[in-house]
């Protein structure tokens, strides 16, 4: 149960990190959408390991095989089924952890819930499942592109090093660097920091910001499927995500209404817009036509090479040092996942809205 996401546009995923394949079924895609397969591959390349010195060096091809729902390059309206084969598992890396609960992983909680767990890379709880979401999200992006809706995420900060650029000064779309960090002036300090972390066999958390431009006013379903509520639900389902905020976010807590209220005006096309965007493009749970801007905080990568204390299945104290190939900052590869989940939410609400109004 609960392996599906979405309302009209619905994604169901399956598979484990060390099984033969992972895959998904994306239902609700309208017929006649010409699929850009290169665009899908590009997003998968952005997520996969081995793309730079600052992510795990594993080799995964991440080549989706589409089984249904696409004929002669166009969607048919039928469910789009696809798989991504697992080709570079090293299950032996996890043999020593079979009976041990790794700190801050899902090992113990899965064992407590199901009484059984796949210890090889975390099984179903592995971030490997995110490749399925990126594939589906890349298709959702193509639905949005037909309506001139674009979105892009990037790193707002890595640990204590902050991106000094304001959101509105970052062009969307923009060309990415290997760290998805658009503040080029601060980038050398970020690289130095990450190199030091890797030498120390440690990890760090980060904040991802995402901008969505071109959404029409009126998307979102009151009261229990508000746009930002569904967006938060999607984003917080991503592995290692811990916080979500939209617009002014936590900054609104200590502010006054006179500071935070977004005054209405009209733009050059006589469209109603707001003079500021502290609401982050959403008011009353419904989009208002302004760019949607949100942020998500990621915890440090749980798998680190430092010595840690834990227990085994019997509760006996254990000392472990997690070997293998791990990211010093999981958020770097999470950027396309954030985009994918946001795209699925936007496309879902866009399709629902088409049924609301003639």
pTM of the predicted structure, to 2 decimals: 0.95
% of residues, the chain, pLDDT over 70? 96
Averaged confidence pLDDT in the chain? 93
Q: Which of 227, 259, 220 is nearest to 246 (CA)?
A: 227
What pLDDT does residue 53 have? 78
Q: What is the pLDDT of residue 4?
A: 97
| Domain range list for the chain | 4-356
- In this prediction, residue 97 has a pLDDT band, given cuts at 50, 70 and 90, of confident
- The residues, any chain, with a CB within 8 Å of residue 301's CB and separated by 6 or more, are 203, 240, 326, 327, 328, 329, 330
Q: What is the structure's pLDDT at 165?
A: 95
Residue 326: the pLDDT is 78
Give the model confidence (pLDDT) of 297-348 as tens digits.
999 999 998 999 999 999 999 999 887 667 899 999 999 999 999 999 999 9
pLDDT of residue 57: 65
φ, ψ (nearest 5 deg) of residue 112: -65, -35
Provide φ and ψ at 173, rounded to 5°. Answer: -80, 160
Q: How far apart are CA 66 and CA 135, in angstroms?
A: 10
pLDDT of residue 59: 67
Q: Is the pLDDT of residue 119 over 60?
A: yes
What would the pLDDT profile of 5-55 be if each residue is shown by its tens digit? 999 999 999 999 889 999 999 999 999 999 999 999 999 999 987 677 777
Task: Identify which of 282, 189, 284, 270 has the alpha carbon closest to the alpha carbon of residue 244.
Answer: 282
- The runs of H, that is alpha helices, within the chain are 37-47, 107-114, 130-145, 187-199, 227-235, 257-260, 331-356
pLDDT band at 76 (very low <50, low <70, confident <90, very high): very high
174 touches 195 (CB < 8 A): no
Model confidence at 120, pLDDT cuts 50, 70, 90, reads confident
User: What's the CATH code, domain 4-356?
Assistant: 3.60.150.10
Phi, psi of 195 (to 5 degrees): -60, -40
């Amino acid at each position: 149960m609960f392996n599906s996401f979405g309302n009209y546009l619905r994604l169901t995923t399956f598979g484990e990190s060390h099984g033969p394949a992972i895959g998904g079924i994306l239902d609700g895609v309208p017929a006649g959408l010409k699929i850009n397969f290169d665009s899908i591959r590009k997003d998968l390349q952005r997520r996969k390991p081995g793309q730079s010195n600052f992510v795990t060096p594993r080799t995964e091809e991440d080549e989706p095989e589409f089984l249904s729902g696409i004929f002669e390059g166009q969607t048919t309206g039928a469910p789009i089924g696809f798989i991504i084969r697992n080709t570079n598992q090293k299950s032996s890396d996890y043999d020593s952890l079979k009976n041990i609960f790794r700190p801050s992983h899902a090992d113990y909680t899965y064992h407590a819930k199901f009484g059984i767990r796949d210890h090889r890379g975390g099984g179903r709880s592995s971030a490997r499942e995110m490749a399925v979401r990126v594939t589906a999200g890349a298709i959702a992006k193509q639905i949005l592109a037909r309506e001139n809706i674009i979105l892009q995420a990037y790193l707002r900060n890595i640990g204590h090093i902050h991106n000094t650029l304001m959101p509105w000064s970052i062009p969307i779309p923009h060309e990415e660097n290997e760290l998805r960090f658009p503040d080029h002036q601060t980038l050398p300090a970020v690289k130095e920091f990450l190199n030091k972390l890797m030498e120390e066999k440690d990890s760090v958390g980060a904040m991802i910001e995402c901008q969505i431009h071109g959404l029409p006013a009126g998307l979102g379903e009151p009261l229990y499927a508000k746009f930002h509520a569904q967006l938060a639900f999607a984003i917080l389902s991503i592995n290692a995500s811990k916080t979500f905020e939209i617009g002014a976010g936590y900054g609104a807590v200590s502010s006054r209404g006179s500071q935070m209220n977004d005054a209405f005006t009209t733009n050059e096309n006589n469209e109603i817009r707001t003079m500021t965007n502290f609401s982050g493009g959403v008011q009353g749970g419904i989009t208002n036509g302004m760019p949607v801007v949100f942020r998500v905080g990621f915890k440090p990568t749980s798998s680190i090479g430092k010595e840690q204390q834990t227990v085994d299945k019997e509760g006996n104290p254990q000392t472990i040092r997690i070997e293998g190939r791990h990211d010093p900052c999981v958020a770097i590869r999470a950027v396309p996942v954030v985009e994918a989940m946001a795209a699925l939410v936007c496309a879902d609400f866009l399709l629902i809205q088409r049924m609301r109004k003639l």
